[in-house]
Chain A
Amino acid sequence: MTGKAALNTFNPLAGNQRAWTAGRVTLVQTVALLVPFIATIAFRGRTVALVFVVALAAAVFWEILFAVIRRKPPTAHGITTALIVAVFVPVTVPLWQVGLSVVMGVVLSELVFGGRGFGFLNPAAVVLALMSFSFPGIVFSGAELWIAVATVPGLALLLAAGLVSWRILVAGSATIVLIASLLGAPFLPIVAGSGLIFGLVFLASDPVGAASTDPGRWLYGILIGGLLAVFGDLSGPETLTNALVFAVLLASIFAPLLDHIVILSFAWLRERRGARSGG
Chain B
Amino acid sequence: MFQFHRTQNSLPHGVHVKEISEASVASAALVGADFPGIHPSFKVAEGEHVKVGEVLFTDRARPRICFVAPMDGRVETIEFGARRTLSALVIRSDTENVTKDGTLDPIDVGTSDKTLREGLLSSGLWPSFRTRPFGNLPDPDSVPRSIFVHATDSEPYAIDPRMALENQEEAFHRGVELLTRLTNGAVYICQSPGPVLATKSSRIKIFNRYGPHPAGLVGACIHAVEPVELDRQIWTIDAQDVVAIGRFADTGCYDPSRIVALTGPRAAPSRLLRTVPGASIRDLCRDELGETAPLRVFSGSTLSGREAAWLGRYHRQITLQDAEPESRQRTSLIGRARNPSPCPIIPTRSVERGLPSGFFTIPLMRALAVRDSESAARLGAHGLVEEDVALLSNLCTSGSDYGKLLRNVLDDLAEQI
**Which of A's residues lie within 8 Å of B, judged by CB?**
3, 5-28, 70, 72-73, 75-77, 114-118, 157, 160-163, 165, 207-208, 210, 212-213, 259, 262-264, 266-267, 270, 274, 278
Contact = CB atoms under 8 A, between A and B. Distances in A.
Contact of B394 (A8, A14, A162, A278): A14
Given A10-B213, A14-B390, A213-B363, A117 B395 contact: no
Given A19-B394, A161-B4, A207 B347 contact: yes
A259 B363 contact: yes
Interface stretch (B36-44, B254-262, B324-332): B324-332
A116 B346 contact: yes
Given A9-B7, A19-B4, A263-B363, A162 B329 contact: no
Contact of B4 (A9, A26, A213): A9
Interface string B224-265: 000101001000000000000000000000000000000000
B171 interface: no
B351 interface: yes
Contacts of A13: 6, 302, 321, 324, 394
Nearest to B379: A263
Given A7-B353, A117-B346, A17 B331 contact: yes
B348 A207 contact: yes
Most chain-A Cβ atoms within 10 A of its Cβ — which of B10, B334, B362? B334
B362 A212 contact: yes
B329 A76 contact: no
A204 to B, nearest CB: 14
Most chain B beta-carbon neighbours within 10 Å: one of A13, A114, A160: A13
A19 B5 contact: yes
Interface string B347-384: 11111110000001011001000000001001100000
Contacts of B363: 212-213, 259, 263
A12 B302 contact: yes
Contacts of B10: 8
Given A27-B334, A116-B344, A117-B346, 11 more contacts: A6-B349, A10-B213, A15-B394, A20-B350, A23-B334, A23-B336, A25-B346, A73-B339, A161-B4, A161-B348, A274-B227
Contact of A20 (B156, B334, B395): B395
A16 B324 contact: yes
Contacts of A75: 334-335
B320 to A, nearest CB: 12
